[in-house]
Amino acid sequence: MQPTQPMLHLGNLEGALRNWVRLQEQYDMHCCIVDWHSLTTMIDRTKEIDENSVGIAMDYLAAGIDPERTVVFRQSEVKEHAELYLLLSMVTPLGWLERVPTYKEKKQDLKGEYVSHGLLGYPVLQAADILLYKPYGVPVGKDQVPHLEVTREIARRFNFLYGDVFPQIANLLSDVPLMLGTDGRKMSKSYENAIYIGDDAEATAVKVRSAFTDPKKIRKNDPGHPEGCSVFSLHSVYNKPCVAVVEKECRAGERGCVDCKNECIEALNGSLAKIRDRRRELEGDRGYVLRVLQEGAEKARAVASETMKEVRRVMHLP
């Protein structure tokens, strides 16, 4: 994950981190904080990236990632990522990168601002991040599968040119709940509509009380439409035992939005209490978090350096 903010939001938690915690019971995992990737959007705010990276590591650990089982590290501390990125960029056709939907979207979002080589080459660096560790697979939601296909294409082209070095990556698909932000759009840091793992109970309550609900439901007894309601989106994840009742009462006009939000706040804060308590402990023990990142980088380098020896050998490089 990119450290573009000092903490992760609930979409990150439910869409990825929860699944990572489960998968570490079955697999040896590498969980990377991709700080170089952040430079595509934070080139004028580079001072923030280091501190943000430590905050993201805290979220990983608070959510249940175990550094005794899983390698947690920062991308920039394993320089082999940059070397493989350079070599893979030499075998990746320009047209492949120009067709990536995310590149087209971000290019449009820039609205006349310069488009960097790093933004165009983002999928190549992502491929390096993955292929360095020769993994069986990568945990993704269905919407991320096209991004992994670029990695597979790059791996196939490299293997065609130099021999079978990289495996074909499997998609470890997970059912990712659509977590709506407080404005009714998908929860995102860039939309400023997110509830964060590190938010305290009161900050969470303020955000939920201001959240977008159903514009057609003016009075309590008006029938509601839970689909597209930010608060119902949170109920569906954090108040599952009661979500059927919430939906029924909303549609029947038996539930007001204020009461619905208050119930959501209680369920949400209760569900996140342990993770947030653990995060506060980690905030008070920054030295431990830095040791986890340092030890993780050493473990990651040990794997990455062996991969690069093989890459250099098949490419006849010193």
Global pTM value: 0.93
Q: What is the pLDDT of residue 111?
A: 65
Q: Are 73 and 299 within 8 A, CB to CB? A: yes
Catalytic one among 189, 207, 217, 261? 189
Q: 110 falls in which pLDDT band (50, 70, 90)? A: low
Other CB atoms within a 10 A radius of the CB of residue 299 amount to 17
Q: Are 135 and 169 within 8 A, CB to CB? A: yes
Q: Which fold has domain 201-280?
A: Tyrosyl-Transfer RNA Synthetase (1.10.240)
User: Residue 287 pLDDT > 90, yes or no?
Assistant: yes
Reduced to 3 states, what is the DSSP secondary structure of residue 134?
A: coil
Q: Which residue has the higher pLDDT, 292 or 145?
A: 292
* Plot region of 95 (φ>0 → left; ψ -120 to 50 → alpha; else → beta): alpha
Q: What is the mean pLDDT of the chain?
A: 94
Q: What six digits make up the tokens of 199?
A: 């938010």
Q: Please compute the mean of the pLDDT values over residues 39-56 and round it to a whole number.
A: 96
Catalytic one among 47, 79, 104, 106? 106
Please confirm, yes or no, whether 248 is among the known catalytic residues: no
Helix axes 80-89, 122-131, angle to 10 degrees: 120
Beta bridge partners of 29: 70
Q: Which helix (H) or strand (E) holds 32?
A: strand 29-33
Q: Are 171 and 145 within 8 A, CB to CB? A: yes
Q: What is the pLDDT of residue 79?
A: 98
Q: How far is CA 208 from the centre of its chain?
A: 22
Residue 48 CA to residue 50 CA, distance in Å, equals: 6
Q: What six digits make up the tokens of 259?
A: 């009461």
Residue 27 CA to residue 23 CA, distance in Å, equals: 6
Please confirm, yes or no, whether 106 is among the known catalytic residues: yes
Reduced to 3 states, what is the DSSP secondary structure of residue 9?
A: strand
| Whole-number percent of the chain with pLDDT over 90 | 85
Phi and psi angles of residue 180, each rounded to the nearest 5 degrees, phi first: -80, 145
Residue 308 CA to residue 306 CA, distance in Å, equals: 5
Please confirm, yes or no, whether 186 is among the known catalytic residues: yes
Q: Which amino acid is at 138?
A: V
Q: What is the pLDDT of residue 101?
A: 80
On the CB side of 3, how many CA atoms lie within 13 Å of its CA? 26
Q: Which helix (H) or strand (E) holds 73?
A: strand 70-74
Q: 190 falls in which pLDDT band (50, 70, 90)? A: confident
| Whole-number percent of the chain with pLDDT over 70 | 98
Reduced to 3 states, what is the DSSP secondary structure of residue 196?
A: strand
User: Residue 197 pLDDT > 80, yes or no?
Assistant: yes
CA dist 141 to 14, 19, 134, 177, Å?
A: 11, 10, 20, 9
Q: What is the pLDDT of residue 261?
A: 97
Q: Please compute the mean of the pLDDT values over residues 29-47 and round it to a whole number.
A: 96
Q: What is the pLDDT of residue 174?
A: 78
The full set of domain ranges for the chain reads: 10-178+286-314, 201-280
Count Cβ atoms within 10 A of the Cβ of residue 24 and give its class: 0-12 exposed, 13-18 middle, 19 or more buried. middle
Q: What is the pLDDT of residue 20?
A: 96
Q: What six digits make up the tokens of 257?
A: 């939005």
Residue 171 CA to residue 271 CA, distance in Å, equals: 29
Q: What six digits make up the tokens of 202?
A: 């009161």
Tens of pLDDT, residues 140-184:
877 788 889 999 999 999 999 999 999 999 999 877 677 899 999
Q: Which amino acid is at 87?
A: L
Q: Which amino acid is at 154?
A: I
Q: Please compute the mean of the pLDDT values over residues 8-20 and round it to a whole number.
A: 94
Catalytic one among 134, 186, 220, 299? 186
Quote the CATH superfamily of domain 10-178+286-314.
Answer: HUPs (3.40.50.620)
**Sequence-separated (6 or more) residues with CB below 8 Å from residue 83:** 308
